[in-house]
Amino acid sequence: MTEIRDQHVPVQTLSSREVFSGKVFGIQRDELVLNEAQEPILREYMSHPGAVVIVALRGDGGEEEILLERQYRHPVKALLWEIPAGLLDIPGEDPRVAAQRELAEEADLVAKRWDVLVDYFTSPGGSTEPLRIFLARDLRDADEAFDREDEEATMEYAWVGLDDALTMVLDGRLHNPSAVIGVLATHAARARGWAGLRPANAPWLRS
């Protein structure tokens, strides 16, 4: 039986050029050959550095709570309840280090224990963006509060019971993909007694 596991494969790329460059992402146009028997095809996609996401969890014994933050997202013109996250925009930076920084900057929290919950691509048919969701536990307040700007300056925060958060996801009250996936993965991990969580430096399939 073939092992079910995502993997990179070599593809013959005839040409590749950036057709748009923005503050966070660019648009790439590639001409490639998938099959020698077929004509070359064109694909346009968003080139994105990726991001790290953090499920900040406190409590135990079935009384766990997850930190949610409410932030305005202009593309969808909505206030969304999310979980802390940040871009991987420093070349070569360890993803866990990036996650630690984002947790401190967005939530004024420091975590002693870090595990990988889940990895995913946001929209692999049109974007290179990879995301890794970390589970951060054994929390404490950061030594100093971070001065937030732009949309982050008006964020609201709420500690929500993990079971309640699951209900919010299934009721259609949460729409941010990282929050939805993070809640589902955390609930599943707890049901397994936290067994099988990957270490913070686990291999990660990225473009």
pLDDT at residue 151 in the model: 64
pLDDT at residue 54 in the model: 98
Q: Which domains does the chain have, with CATH numbers?
A: 12-47 (no CATH), 51-199 (3.90.79.10)
- Nearest to 71, CA basis, from 95, 119, 24, 106: 106
Question: Which residue's entry shows tokens 């979980």?
Answer: 83
pLDDT at residue 38 in the model: 85
Q: How many CB atoms lie within 10 A of CB 14?
A: 11
pTM, two decimal places: 0.93
**From first to last of its 207 residues, what are the pLDDT tens digits of the chain?**
889 999 999 999 999 999 999 988 999 999 999 888 789 999 999 999 999 999 999 999 899 999 999 999 999 999 999 999 999 999 999 999 999 999 999 999 999 999 999 999 999 999 999 999 999 999 999 988 777 666 666 889 999 999 999 999 999 999 999 999 999 999 999 999 999 999 999 999 997
8 A C-beta contact, residue 154 and residue 72: yes
Structure tokens at 184: 């589902």
Phi, psi torsion values for 174, nearest 5 degrees? -115, 135
Which entry of 39, 151, 152, 156 is annotated as an active-site residue? 152
pLDDT at residue 148 in the model: 66
Q: Which helix (H) or strand (E) holds 99?
A: helix 95-107
Question: Catalytic residue at 152?
Answer: yes
